């Protein structure tokens, strides 16, 4: 992770290293303004000490517009208006508990930030079981660098977010266009298949009707042929019967009546 050490604070860093190597004797912690970029903000860590030399840590964060104090505490109200002391002068700000019930933040007012830049000692009475404090050596340069880092990181984050949102919007638009095109192609294909199915159905019905008509014509032709054969057979049978009848029962010859016979009428007498 990239860390930025404020120029001119090498001596403070040396003092901080020494305080880590041996137990701190003074109630005021001296820290190094190390600015660390995060995803959309930058932060620096501040260690505060009490009389028992038990450390308590806070973070100062910035997005380029605001300075936010973030801390952890086992118990805290959902909201509270609490003060932090800078050079023994209280500066009150709104405390807000985050979704994690052990993490809270304070958006510091411009007056509080100005006091931090010019002040020498930061004291917080409610952060731990006892008041804890830290020296604000180099705070003006440190806070300026924190805001500069936060502004650049936030601007880059917003640019990346906008680019990502644009890419997602383009991808969504392309996906919708592709889906619409696929739906149109599917609709055209379905219409074509329906038309082909209808045409095939009509063709099949026409074929069946034609086949039925052909079968009916064939049946009628066969009926006519059968009737014709029946008539021919009947005529042959009749002719045969007539021939047989003439053979066994020849017709009697027709004789003219005798010449001497003539029927008389009354006029003859």
d(CA 137, CA 117): 9
Q: What is residue 234's predicted lDDT score, i.e. its pLDDT?
A: 86
Q: What is residue 248's predicted lDDT score, i.e. its pLDDT?
A: 72
- How many CB atoms neighbour CB 4 within 10 A? 16
Residues 18-70 have pLDDT tens digits of 333 333 334 556 668 899 999 999 999 999 999 887 889 999 999 999 999 99
Q: What is residue 261's predicted lDDT score, i.e. its pLDDT?
A: 52
The class level of CATH for 4-161 reads mainly beta
Residue 138 φ/ψ region, left for φ over 0, alpha for ψ in the -120 to 50 degree band, beta for the rest:
left
Higher pLDDT, 4 or 108: 108
| Model pTM score | 0.58
Residues 117-172 have pLDDT tens digits of 999 999 999 999 899 999 999 999 999 999 999 999 999 999 999 999 999 999 99
Domain ranges of the chain: 4-161
Q: What is residue 119's predicted lDDT score, i.e. its pLDDT?
A: 93
């Amino acid at each position: 992770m990239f860390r930025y050490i404020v120029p001119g604070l090498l001596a403070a860093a040396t003092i901080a290293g020494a305080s880590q190597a041996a137990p701190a004797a003074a109630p005021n912690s001296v820290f190094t303004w190390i600015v660390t970029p995060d995803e959309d903000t930058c932060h620096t860590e501040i260690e505060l000490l009490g009389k028992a030399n038990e450390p308590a840590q806070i973070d100062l964060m910035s997005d380029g517009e605001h300075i936010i104090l973030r801390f952890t505490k086992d118990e805290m109200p959902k909201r509270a208006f609490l003060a932090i002391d800078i050079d023994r002068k209280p500066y009150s700000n709104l405390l807000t508990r985050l979704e994690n019930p052990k993490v809270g933040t304070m958006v510091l007012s411009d007056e509080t930030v100005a006091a931090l830049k010019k002040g020498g000692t930061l004291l917080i009475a409610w952060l731990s079981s006892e008041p804890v404090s830290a020296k604000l050596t180099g705070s003006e340069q440190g806070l300026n660098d924190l805001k500069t880092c936060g502004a650049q990181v936030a601007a880059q984050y917003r640019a990346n977010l906008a680019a990502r949102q644009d890419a997602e919007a383009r991808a969504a638009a392309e996906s919708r266009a592709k889906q619409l095109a696929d739906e149109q192609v599917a609709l055209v294909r379905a219409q074509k298949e329906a038309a082909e199915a209808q045409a095939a159905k009509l063709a099949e019905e026409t074929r069946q009707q034609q086949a039925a008509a052909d079968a009916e014509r064939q049946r009628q032709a066969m009926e006519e042929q059968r009737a014709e054969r029946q008539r021919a057979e009947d005529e042959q049978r009749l002719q045969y019967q007539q021939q047989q009848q003439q053979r066994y029962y020849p017709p009697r010859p027709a004789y003219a009546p005798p010449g001497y016979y003539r029927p008389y009428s009354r006029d003859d007498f």
